[in-house]
Chains A and B, each alone.
Chain A
Amino acid sequence: DIQMTQSPSSLSASVGDRVSITCRASQSISSYLNWYQQKPGKAPKLLIYATSSLQSGVPSRFSGSGAGTDFTLTISSLQPEDFATYYCQQSYDTHTWTFGQGTKVEVK
């Protein structure tokens, strides 16, 4: 199975900061990498699919990049509503998906 490793597991940041979260796959997954945001007690919300495609309605301060095994989610200027947990997910293996372990973005 493809393993997904996210880093860091948590980070502290301030409003206006630029934040980056990385996700590494145990083998090449081409561009089959998606990012979700989850707030406490809520279902996950799709942010980015296919590495860099922004889901409709998601603010443009969110962006994704990468290919192969290394991927990055960047928030260009952190807003108060962005404090949440972020997960990557590989969908290259159509028979077995895997999520990263999550990155919690907290207030500094």
Chain B
Amino acid sequence: EVQLVESGGGLVQPGGSLRLSCAASEFTVSSNYMSWVRQAPGKGLEWVSIIYSGGDTYYADSVKGRFTISRDNSKNTLYLQMNSLRVEDTAVYYCARVEWSWNYCHYWGQGTLVTVSS
């Protein structure tokens, strides 16, 4: 069964950094499109970033230049390095496997909460 398990969330001060991990089971991360989507408390879904199987990466304007999506093939894990964190980055962060044909998020992790506060 395909599984995605996020970790790495927590409390961080504004301006700080955090790295989220998303461990995948029963499929190969590097052969798939993978994405991060976040949800601020009580708010809607916001797309954050995507990495294509070929390695191309794209970001929402709100995180461009501060966040970096990457993967470790040996660990079959997706990452989101978050720097210069802001209060408005507070959210539950979900990783998702993307079906390349129509670019929809087929499988989702359970999410990890990031709280940016002083």
Residues of A at under 8 Å CB distance from B? 1, 31-32, 34, 36, 38, 43-46, 49-50, 53, 55, 87, 89, 91, 94-102
Contact = CB atoms under 8 A, between A and B. Distances in A.
Contacts of A99: 37, 44-47
A43 B110 contact: yes
Interface stretch (B20-28, B79-87, B100-108): B100-108
Contacts of B1: none
A31 B102 CA distance: 9
A49 B61 contact: no
Interface string B88-104: 00000010000101111
A7 to B, nearest CB: 14
Contact of A101 (B44, B101, B109): B44
B102 A32 contact: yes
Interface of B: 35, 37, 44-47, 50, 58, 60-61, 94, 99, 101-106, 108-111
A46 B35 CA distance: 14
27 contacts: A31-B102, A32-B102, A34-B103, A36-B45, A36-B105, A43-B94, A43-B108, A43-B109, A43-B111, A44-B37, A44-B45, A44-B105, A45-B108, A49-B99, A50-B102, A87-B45, A91-B102, A91-B103, A91-B104, A95-B58, A96-B58, A96-B60, A97-B35, A97-B47, A99-B37, A100-B44, A102-B45
Nearest to B52: A94
Contacts of A97: 35, 47, 50, 103
A69 B94 CA distance: 27
